[in-house]
Amino acid sequence: MNGLMFHYFAQGDYIECKSLIGEIQSKYLDKNETAHHVRGLIARNEGELEEAMECFQKAYELSGRNKRYYYEIGRCNFLLGRHQIAVEQLTKASEVMKNNPKVWYWLARAIYHFPAEKMESGKTFNPVESARTVLSKDDIARDATLICFLGRLCEELDDKEGAIQAYNNALKLQPDNTEVMNLLGLIYLRMGKVQEGFMQLGNCLAYDPSNSQAILTIGSIMQNHSDHDVALNKYRVAADVCDYNGCLWNNIGIGLLARNKAAAAHSALKKAGFINPLNYKISYNLGVLHDIMNLHCSALHYIRLCTELQPQNSKAIGAMAVILSHMNDNRNARLAYKKSIELKPFPSIVLNYAIFEYRMKDYTASSNAVQLYKELHAAGVKCSANNQQTASLLEAVLKQQDQHAEQ
């Protein structure tokens, strides 16, 4: 009968299984340990944690206090958010089930959720790090979920190499796990290894063509390489699955803008802004878009929103300066340029400032700005070829002015 019970349970036929368990218990006067165990498992799968814990408790009593059941009870406590108790119970369980990687996995997960500010012998207790030590101390890396979790912990600890290794191991065990591919791809991208990242995400899409997250990432890589048409095609699939994704609509808006469809881009970005009202990037894009459409007042509004959300963003303040100069508010434009350069000088903004001062006929300030631009360029900050050209042109013009002045 126990065999039949396991059979039903494995098949997921919980109704049959429960009635069978009822039979077994009435036959053995509620004394069947395994039946209690399976009943507990069913209850947990169905989300009835209290009932599950009761069943496991009974099984524990009947089994002559087999510490294995601490494993199950610990997991229930973990799900209920009682991490302290869960850790205690799982540690007890780990004494008897040393060879089972699952125990360590759950233990690590429970430790991971400890509050970080807990002090232990003077130094801050870092739950993430201790979770990682739990997982990496043995040769327990035999299970994909466990390795994934390890990868995530490594990622949070900024150990990218470790994370990549973990994810690669997980992929060896489960070659069709799209989530892992996604994560792996993202890490590669964060490390600047675009080629590898692109490959992983491509793999992921090969398994699941409608994976919205992978589509979004791949699309943004394409857009970085100005391949807007293909990216837009990809987004069409993603928008179908989940059309309330602000980042997605933001990228669509940029793609449309690149194809010179300002009105369509406007509605896409507005939608993005509605979905994610507190995302500064979207409001930045909206500001730039309105400036392109010559709606300077609206542009200023959105850029202001962006700077309110991210007061230290020098690019946004630089963009604000450009818009202000378009509105002929030269005094404030100059202030904005200065503020932006003070926060963090970007070559393009410095160059804009130089041009602005040139227009204002303040040639010394202008040539100072060009000087700053050259310094930045020499320091190795990335400058586009277009910027380079403009800079040298401006420098030449300024020199002429100088000569004029001398004459």
Residue 293 and residue 270 in contact, taking contact as beta carbons nearer than 8 Å: no
3-class DSSP string for the chain: CHHHHHHHHHHCCHHHHHHHHHHHHHHCCCCCHHHHHHHHHHHHHCCCHHHHHHHHHHHHHHCCCCCHHHHHHHHHHHHCCCHHHHHHHHHHHHHHCCCCHHHHHHHHHHHHCCCCCCEECCEECCHHHHHHHHHHCCCCCCCHHHHHHHHHHHHHCCCHHHHHHHHHHHHHHCCCCHHHHHHHHHHHHHCCCHHHHHHHHHHHHHHCCCCHHHHHHHHHHHHHCCCHHHHHHHHHHHHHHCCCCHHHHHHHHHHHHHCCCHHHHHHHHHHHHHHCCCCHHHHHHHHHHHHHCCCHHHHHHHHHHHHHHCCCCHHHHHHHHHHHHHCCCHHHHHHHHHHHHHHCCCHHHHHHHHHHHHHCCCHHHHHHHHHHHHHHHHCCCCCCHHHHHHHHHHHHHHHHHHHHHHC
Task: Determine if 263 is a binding residue for other proteins (CB under 8 A).
Answer: no
Q: Return the number of the residue (248 or 376) whose C-beta is nearest other proteins.
A: 248
Considering only 241-249, 338-346, 348-356, 362-370, which stretch makes contact with other proteins by CB under 8 A?
241-249
Considering only 77-85, 185-193, 252-260, 336-344, which stretch makes contact with other proteins by CB under 8 A?
77-85
Considering only 27-35, 53-61, 187-195, 266-274, which stretch makes contact with other proteins by CB under 8 A?
266-274
Q: Return the number of the residue (154 or 316) whose C-beta is nearest other proteins.
A: 316
Task: Determine if 308 is a binding residue for other proteins (CB under 8 A).
Answer: yes
Q: Which member of 309, 343, 372, 397 binds other proteins (CB under 8 A)?
A: 309
Task: Determine if 152 is a binding residue for other proteins (CB under 8 A).
Answer: no
Task: Determine if 264 is a binding residue for other proteins (CB under 8 A).
Answer: no
Task: Determine if 130 is a binding residue for other proteins (CB under 8 A).
Answer: no
Q: Which member of 8, 39, 40, 44 binds other proteins (CB under 8 A)?
A: 44
Q: Which member of 2, 13, 30, 80 binds other proteins (CB under 8 A)?
A: 80
Considering only 117-125, 305-313, 326-334, 340-348, which stretch makes contact with other proteins by CB under 8 A?
305-313
Task: Determine if 267 is a binding residue for other proteins (CB under 8 A).
Answer: yes
Please state the closest distance from residue 51 (CB atom) to other proteins, in A: 13
Please state the closest distance from residue 348 (CB atom) to other proteins, in A: 24
Considering only 87-95, 116-124, 300-308, 384-392, which stretch makes contact with other proteins by CB under 8 A?
300-308
The set of residues, in sequence order, having a beta carbon less than 8 Å from that of 127 and lying 6+ positions away, is 111, 112, 113, 114, 115, 116
Task: Determine if 274 is a binding residue for other proteins (CB under 8 A).
Answer: yes
Task: Determine if 116 is a binding residue for other proteins (CB under 8 A).
Answer: no
Please state the closest distance from residue 360 (CB atom) to other proteins, in A: 28
Q: Which member of 194, 224, 244, 384 binds other proteins (CB under 8 A)?
A: 244
Considering only 72-80, 159-167, 191-199, 386-394, which stretch makes contact with other proteins by CB under 8 A?
72-80
Binding site for other proteins (CB under 8 A): 41, 44-45, 47, 49, 75, 78-81, 83, 102, 109-110, 112-113, 145, 212, 241-246, 267, 270-271, 274-279, 283, 295, 297-298, 301, 304-309
